[in-house]
Structure 1
């Protein structure tokens, strides 16, 4: 199924049409029916609100916690198969290659330690295989503390001494691009990680500059920086122009929701085209790196994330209507 909002879309009407197709699709309708929910009545805004509420009751296994702390639901075999089939049809399972050979910028989205290693390695692989980037490769994260499990993941890959997500991303850049120290550094230590930021730019031979950026939170009293915060913060540092095409690298399971976040934070305000891809596990460089088990609960949680991201994108797309 095409990404909600469409790849490279910058027009609000095109984005809304794409949201409607994804939301009103047979796989999502079938999944809601499988969990006993009536399909919400009303226009697209009402349906999005209803699905947000429904998924909050039945598919939210985090309860405000970080993803590794989410519980796994006890589902029967038929429901498990239905979840996996729906996730595949909705674009959360299979990796799709970039649609273009050339982009203005390449963004790598941060995450858990294993994701930092895999996504940065995939970005380096794309550059080696001929994807051209006119501007920079930006690796986006935050000062989220690493868990003990993440530290063990990094240690197994030969990385020690990191304390935060951005440390894991920095280590991943050094491993994947063969660099040892940044050419430029900047930042602000505000005394609290939710307020602080940092920027480290590497200049590997034969590739565009690689910037590792830790963003502050837009709601520092409530939470750490999230994906949309990192994208907005990067946009404030990059010289984006209307018509620029930006490639985002994440994991397949997060493509639908993070694509919508990028449309909201980059495409609508800047007029940038967005192509969002998941790191391909078949790439040899990724085969040696740790990969988590993707369970039915994980897929349901990220289908909910996609619904919520589309609700926010719809609101932004129709704000002036």
Structure 2
């Protein structure tokens, strides 16, 4: 199933049509039925609300915790197979190439420690194999503390880091072969949810690379999330209507992070958005760690996609 498409001139009606096509697709309907759910009645707003509620009861294995702390459900083989088939149909499994050879900006989304390494490496691969970027490469993260497991992953790659942005910054330095940023700014508010930082690196033959740690938009409740990092970056770069942005993440997160980018960047700024996942088969990436992707992980991120599409639909009016 295609995700909501976002050329620069996409109207709210077009985006809403794309949301409806993905949400009401036969694969998602079959998955809901497999878990004993009836399809929500009413308009698209009601369907999204119903699916959000259903997925909270059946597919939320995090319970407010970070992704590595999510439990893995016990599923019978037929159900597990259906989950994987559905995830592939909904765009959470197979990586795709960027749709265009040139973009205004390339945006690398942060994540768990292994993801920070893999996504920065993939962005470098794209640039070295012909992708043109007129503006900058933005590497977006936060001051989220790393878990012991994440620190161990980085240690295996020869990296010492305490936070997500530390991991992203170390990955950028390694890829560019640089020791220090050309420009640095930030604000230490004494708490990671309130603090921010920006470091810009320049390397011959490549666009400038800016590594950002964003503050949370709800610092009393939580750390910065994907939408926070995207909004924060938009406040640091001049976006113009028609700018084409390429977002880099992992395939499993493409649907939800694509919709977050539509909501936070395409709708308010008139940008065109393409979102791609790292291709794990590339030689540059084979040596980097990659976690196993289980049926429970896919169900969790199908729920994330539903929630992101609901949030996007709400701003479309």
- Tell me which interval the TM-score lies in, with the shorter structure as reference length: over 0.9
Question: Which residue of the partner structure matches residue 283 of structure 2?
Answer: 284
- Count of residue pairs the alignment pairs up: 317
Q: Describe the shift of the 1:219–1:290 C-alpha distance in structure 2 as closer, same or farther (beyond 3 A).
A: same
Q: CA offset at residue 169 of structure 1?
A: 0.2
User: 1:268 is matched with which residue?
Assistant: 267
Extract unaligned runs of 5+ from structure 1: none
Deviations 1:177-216 (A, max 9, x none): 2221100000000111111000000001110000000000
- Aligned CA RMSD, in angstroms, stands at 0.8
What SS is found at the alignment partner of 1:237?
coil
C-alpha contact (below 8 Å) 2:91/2:251 kept by paired residues: yes
Aligned to 2:220: 221
Q: Is the 8 A contact 2:8 2:270 kept in 1?
A: no
Aligned to 1:195: 194
In the alignment, which residue of structure 1 is the partner of 2:59? 59
Does residue 45 (structure 1) correspond to residue 45 (structure 2)? The answer is: yes
Distance in 2 (CA, whole Å) between partners of 1:150 and 1:234 is 25
Specify the alignment match of 2:25 in structure 1: 25
Q: Which SS does the other structure have where 2:235 is aligned?
A: helix
**Shift, 1:6, TM fit:** 4.4
- In the aligned structure 1, how far is the partner of 2:9 from the partner of 2:309? 14
Distance in 2 (CA, whole Å) between partners of 1:7 and 1:88 is 24
The match for 2:207 is: 208
Aligned residue number for residue 140 of structure 1: 140
Quickly say closer, same or farther: Cα 1:224–1:101, change in 2 above 3 A: same
Structure 2 residue 271 is the aligned partner of structure 1 residue 303: no
Distance 1:243 1:45 in 2: 28
Normalised to the residue count of structure 1, the TM-score between the two structures is: 0.98
CA distance in 1, matches of 2:46, 2:100: 35
Say whether the 8 Å CA contact 2:259–2:305 is kept in structure 1.
Answer: yes
**Given that residues 168 and 211 in structure 2 are in contact (C-alpha distance below 8 angstroms), is that contact kept between their aligned partners in structure 1?**
yes
- Superposition map of 1:91-170 within 5 A: 91-160=91-160, 162-170=161-169
TM-score normalised according to structure 2 size: 0.99
Contact conserved, 1:106 with 1:247, CA < 8 A, in 2?
yes
The 8 Å contact of residues 5 and 17 in structure 1, kept in 2 or not, is answered as: no
Contact 1:244 1:272 in 2 (8 A): yes
**Residues 106, 25 of structure 1: CA spacing in aligned structure 2 closer, same or farther, 3 A cutoff?**
same
Secondary structure of the 2:87 match is helix
Aligned residue in 1 for 2:83: 83
Contact persistence 1:217–1:224 (CA under 8 A)? yes
Looking at structure 2, the residues matched to 179 and 7 of structure 1 have their Cα atoms a distance apart, in angstroms, of 36
Residues 109-136 of structure 1 show CA distances to partners (whole Å, capped at 9, x for unaligned) of 0000000000000000000010000000
1:138 and 1:194 mapped to 2: Cα distance? Answer: 20
Give how far 1:2 is off: 1.1
Question: Aligned equivalents of 1:202 and 1:270: distance in 2?
Answer: 26
Moved over 6 A (4+): none
SS of the residue corresponding to residue 97 of structure 1 reads: coil
Q: What displacement does 1:9 show?
A: 6.1
Are the aligned partners of 1:83 and 1:300 in contact in 2 as well (CA < 8 Å)?
A: yes
Deviation at 1:8, TM superposition (A): 5.3
- Segments of structure 2 that go 5 or more residues without pairing to the other structure are none
2:197 match: secondary structure:
strand
